[in-house]
Amino acid sequence: MLRRPRRNRSSAAIRGMIRETHLTTDHLIYPFFIVDGKNISEEIHSLPGNFRWSLDRLLPEMEACVKLGLKTFILFPGVAEQLKNKTGTYGYAKNNFYLKAATEIKKRFPQICLISDVAMDPYSSDGHDGLVAEGKILNDETLPILAKMSVAQAAAGFDLLGPSDMMDGRIGWLREALDEEGFTETGIMAYTAKYASAFYGPFRDALDSAPKDEAGIPKDKKTYQMDPANKKEALIEAELDLTEGADFLMVKPALHYLDVIHLLKENFELPIAAYHVSGECAMLTAACQNGWLEFDKAMPEALLSIHRAGADAIITYFAKDYAELVRG
């Protein structure tokens, strides 16, 4: 045989020399759940190793992550029920602890990239990403609310805004609102292909943000999040986000949608992000805790597969684990 591919696998040195995909901490985004209060670090039962943090406990944790080489973080707010209402006004209130926390974090760590979450569900008494009326999610009526939220987040110091709501036209609304207020350098990481997935459970546990089980409120998000059966539809969403001014295109979830990540990477020049969601991470953690998989081998392989598929940036609850592993 003239061609023997195994020759190029015969030693670690040769394998390393020709390795096609290299994953570093530069590619990882670490999610944090933040709550109001002090001295809080509550582990999330369905997402072991991840916590609800008060700012005073979060800042030392972020410092440890920065020392490990992590540079980008995405922040999600856990809002007390009494602060929620149908129109999500706390999302842009001056006394919003989430906005105050962002300002303090950027003051302490000016070198990091801090990403927000733009959606109504953390602040909505209905638990939806948009305004609810007569059993429907109102698209156009939601957009001004998201625009106000985005301007408030930019003013607080977020570097990138992450609209996760999946309302039609929201990227254009956000971009115009930001530019009108002088936030031309604030970027938008669009949740472009966000699927109505079964793998969001631990995230919703962490923030108590699931749709409310009450009369007149839709019980799921299938009228605005994408059907898991569809792939070509992601191209439509991506083209819209591109033309409306997005700076990143995101696929969520990641591991179960590697084909969609690859599709967007092949068809668009913008950076592609992928969200390795809570349920995907929880499954791997559970398998490792049961001794069915080896965490230090399975976790990097999962992240590598997402990067290999085409994700330039990966939001993952394993970011710190990976940083510790490669640091040795």
Catalytic residue IDs:
194, 252
Name the residue with tokens 């913008």: 270
Phi/psi at 326 (nearest 5 deg)? -75, -25
Structure tokens at 36: 């109001």
Residues in the chain: 328
Q: For residue 214, what are the contacts with CB-CB under 8 A and spacing of at least 6?
A: none
Neighbours of 221 (CB within 10 A): 23
Structure tokens at 195: 């699927």
Side-chain half-sphere CA neighbours of 249 within 13 A: 28
Helices 55-67 and 319-327, interaxial angle, to 10°? Answer: 40
Q: For residue 290, what are the contacts with CB-CB under 8 A and spacing of at least 6?
A: none
DSSP conformation class of 118: B
Q: How far is CA 65 from the centre of its chain?
A: 17
Cis, peptide link before residue 122, omega less than 30° from 0: no
